[in-house]
Amino acid sequence: MDLWNLRPVTLPAELETLRRDIRAFLGAELAAGRFTPRCDQWLGGWDASFSRRLGERGWIGMAFPEQYGGRQAGALARFVVTEELLAAGAPVAAHWIADRQTGPGLLRFGTEEQKHTYLPGIARGERFFAVGLSEPDTGSDLASVRTRATRVVDGWRLSGTKVWTSGAHHAQTLVVLARTAAPAADRHAGLGQFIIDLPHPAVQIRPIRLLTGEHHFNEVVLDEVFVPDARVLGEPGDGWHQVTHELAMERSGPERILSTFPLLAVATESLAAAGRLGERCALGSVVARLWALRQMSLAVAGRLEAGGVPAVEAAAVKDLGTRFENTVIDCVRMLTQVEPDPGATDELPRMLAEAVLHSPGFTLRGGTNEILRGVIARQLGVR
């Protein structure tokens, strides 16, 4: 594992111009009252019109080649854009999965027809994706997938159930991981990815509500769904390799450390306004950890930019990052002594309530910490 050899990345000077442009855009959006900063908006902030405005500026699908609607700007440019959007608490959920993983997956493994069909819409902020990975009773142990893909004339028929499928009730397209062959000694063999346009008469989507009553996650039931050969992503049987590539993008990004950053920023401003300078050491400790994790996440982005697949390093960043996000909440509660209140007009109690209610999912989504540590242990040869 190269985790301990992740090379520091220095962002090119031209990306600072990009950062200023994004901040100016976000300032104008806030001034116009087009969004309210909130925690965890890459999961809960579904706003298709906001995504379209980002797409108009070329800030979605930035790494796509120009013939597919992108700017060929690279993983580091995307890192800067996503970092600013998350720090501002902007509503980015609509395009998040397509921009982060299904778009790059299509670019790497898709056919020319699939690329031309889906990538330009993603880059415009108009085509939204969901991914069907986790299943009942197996959680995020993807090697235990039981959804079945059976070969039929001109395609495949899929049956099974997926859970924790973010945004499936809004998405126009679903990418499903399914088993194309009977389970074998190698649990990673015999998997495939399939593209299903939604809505589909053989796909039922049911809400899984959060403690808040919010509807972001879904149970997705596939009942003999026909998928033509033209909608198979990559090679049947090679799904584990393809998904592993996606997970490197899913698990290492700045969303794993910045979901609660809007809360940390508001709490710091509140303490400063109250003249509570004695809290600087505690806040400084949290910010120092944030900066170290940010450098790790940026280093993984650098590996992606160079064409690498740092899946194990990404697992380590997610494990550390999602535990840190809960530390932010504990620190803010301890220092401010503010009671969480989801209905408050004041930002601090409102954001604190949002963060507390979303916090059980931080270490679950995208792979539980137990799964991630298993990935790391296997790479180290101790499991």
Q: Which residues contact residue 184 at a Cβ distance below 8 angstroms, ignoring those fewer than 6 apart?
A: 190
CA 20 and chain centroid, separation = 24
> Strands 173-179 and 129-132: what pairing?
parallel
- The residue-averaged pLDDT of 236-264 equals 84
Residue 381 pLDDT grade (very low, low, confident, very high; cuts 50, 70, 90): confident
User: Per CATH, which fold does 251-380 belong to?
Assistant: Butyryl-CoA Dehydrogenase, subunit A; domain 3 (1.20.140)
Furthest CA-CA distance within the chain: 72
Kindly state which CATH superfamily the domain 13-127 is placed in. Answer: Acyl-CoA dehydrogenase/oxidase, N-terminal domain (1.10.540.10)
Task: Indicate whether 1 pLDDT > 60.
Answer: no
State the Cα–Cα distance between residues 167 and 250, nearest whole angstrom. 15
Asked if residue 43 lies in contact with residue 82, where contact means CB atoms within 8 angstroms, the answer is no
- Predicted confidence (pLDDT) per residue in 267-283, tens digit: 999 998 988 877 778 88
- Mean pLDDT check: name the lowest of 7-16, 34-43, 52-61, 151-160: 7-16
The pair of structure tokens assigned to 210 is 């959060």
Structure confidence at residue 116 as a pLDDT band (50, 70, 90):
very high
The answer to whether residue 89 scores a pLDDT higher than 80 is yes
The whole-angstrom separation of Cα 201 and Cα 196 is 11
Q: What is the pTM of this model?
A: 0.89
Q: Tell me what pLDDT residue 112 has.
A: 98
Q: Which residues contact 12 (CB under 8 A, 6 or more apart)?
A: 76
- Nearest-5° Cα angle at 44, 204 to 241: 65
Res 5: pLDDT: 64
Please report which confidence band the pLDDT of residue 363 belongs to, taking 50, 70 and 90 as the band edges: confident
Q: How far apart are CA 257 and CA 260, in angstroms?
A: 7
Residue 7 pLDDT exceeds 60:
yes
- The single-letter code of the amino acid at 49 is S
pLDDT on residue 303: 83
CATH classification number, 131-237, choose in 3.30.1540.10, 3.40.50.1110, 2.40.50.140, 2.40.110.10: 2.40.110.10
Least confident of 60-74, 75-89, 138-152: 138-152
Structure tokens at 163: 């859970």
pLDDT tens readout for residues 302-348: 888 887 778 788 888 888 888 999 999 999 999 999 999 999 999 99
| H-run or E-run covering 362 | none
Amino acid at position 303, single letter: R
Q: Which residues contact residue 266 at a Cβ distance below 8 angstroms, ignoring those fewer than 6 apart? A: 347, 348, 351
CA distance 11 to 226: 45
The mean-pLDDT minimum among 32-36, 98-102, 211-215, 216-220 falls in 211-215
- Where are the chain's structural domains? 13-127, 131-237, 251-380
Provide the sign of the torsion angle of the four alpha carbons 95, 75, 29, 338, taken in this order: positive
Q: What is the DSSP string of 137-183?
A: TTBT-GGG---EEEEETTEEEEEEEE-S-TTTTT-SEEEEEEESS--
Q: Give the DSSP letter of residue 70.
A: -
Per-residue pLDDT, averaged over 273-295, amounts to: 87
Amino acid symbol at 368: T
CA distance 95 to 98: 6
